[in-house]
A = this chain, B = another copy of it.
Amino acid sequence: MIIVMKPRAKMESIERIKAIIEENGLDAHISAGKEVTIIGVVGDKSKLLEHNLEIFDDVDKIVAVTESYKLANKKFHPEPSVIRVGNVTIGGDSLVIMSGPCAVESKEQLLATAHAIKKAGAQILRGGAYKPRTSPYAFQGLEEEGLKYMKEAREETGLPVICEVTSLNAIEAAVKYVDMLQIGARNMQNFYLLKEAGKSGLPVLLKRGLSATIDEWLNASEYIIAEGNPNVVLCERGIRTFETATRNTLDISAVPVIKEKSHLPIIVDPSHATGVRAYVKPLSMGAVAVGADGLMIETHPNPSCALSDGPQSLTFEQFEDLTKDLKPLAAMMGKKL
């Protein structure tokens, strides 16, 4: 931690800060420049939590030099994590494709999709049973009935299944039926939900919030891991910007940034990032080439009748065409698909 003093800070202000630092058992290293003085703080900063040094007289600003997340931090855990979901692994040298409908609408829809995506090479089935929708009048999901169909689809196809959870009730239901929980973008800083997902024991896919910095995202993952659950996979799904040609702006740079800052695997969701079916294939290719550990892609037997997010869903033929082109690219990137 570095404390930058204001220009012409009074000596007594500097001495007061120094005294507080030392009273709490830390060391203060003072560099007195011509214009400003800076104070380097050495030791365990948590001892200073009760002192808001930035509002002391003559303090200009505080600069943090260490990240607040520890368990998700590559500095303290340099090896990349590999997360197991059923018989599938995420991270390392595998490329995982999760696919399925935005919303589970019926048993028939889900099973048809499960068979189609398995045939095309996907390894995990996704499907939403609890849908967070902007308007209360939009379709809200089949809830536990949808989860039951997910379980049936797993039994029929052998594919592990993942479902978004939006409340403690949903987690309590989901643990009975699915292999992996998803925390959606709108709940990325629903810290209560993060803790409960952490306690569930299931692996968790944590989507990035629409306006979350990468630092906040890793802190959110820390909430899950701190409950004793290290099985977290991150998912970049677009951030909110001024551009309206796509529903969100896919922050593809998040992939190499996460690879540098954390050991957690990261996948990309081009369906939600763009909201436009025609852009899903090129962005899937881009995501794999940039080093992502996987993709989450929406598919539907008949997108023009989908109850949620039809415009961004691929048909089975489009999905098959995509995976056909992804395979040689994955091989070139040294990944197994």
* A interface residues (Cβ-Cβ under 8 A, vs B): 2, 4, 7, 27, 29-36, 38, 40-43, 46, 49-56, 60, 63, 65-66, 68-69, 75, 132-139, 166-170, 186-187, 189-193, 209-211, 213-216, 219, 222-223, 226, 239-246, 249-257, 260-261, 273-274, 277-279, 282-283, 285-291, 303-307, 310-311, 328-329, 332
User: Given A42-B33, A257-B245, A288-B289, is A69 in contact with B135 using a C-beta cutoff of 8 Å?
Assistant: yes
Task: Give Cα A108 to B221, complex, Å.
Answer: 35
User: Given A282-B291, A303-B52, is A46 in contact with B2 using a C-beta cutoff of 8 Å?
Assistant: no
Task: Give Cα A261 to B41, complex, Å.
Answer: 27
A304 with B56: CB separation less than 8 A: yes
- Chain B residues lying within 8 Å of A7, measured Cβ to Cβ, are 66, 75
Q: Closest Cβ of chain B: how far from A16's Cβ, in Å?
A: 11
Task: Give Cα A135 to B221, complex, Å.
Answer: 10
B249 with A239: CB separation less than 8 A: yes
User: Given A246-B253, A288-B289, is A191 in contact with B133 using a C-beta cutoff of 8 Å?
Assistant: yes
A251 with B243: CB separation less than 8 A: yes
User: Given A241-B242, A242-B211, A332-B332, is A282 in contact with B304 using a C-beta cutoff of 8 Å?
Assistant: no
- Chain B residues lying within 8 Å of A307, measured Cβ to Cβ, are 49-50
A226 with B136: CB separation less than 8 A: yes
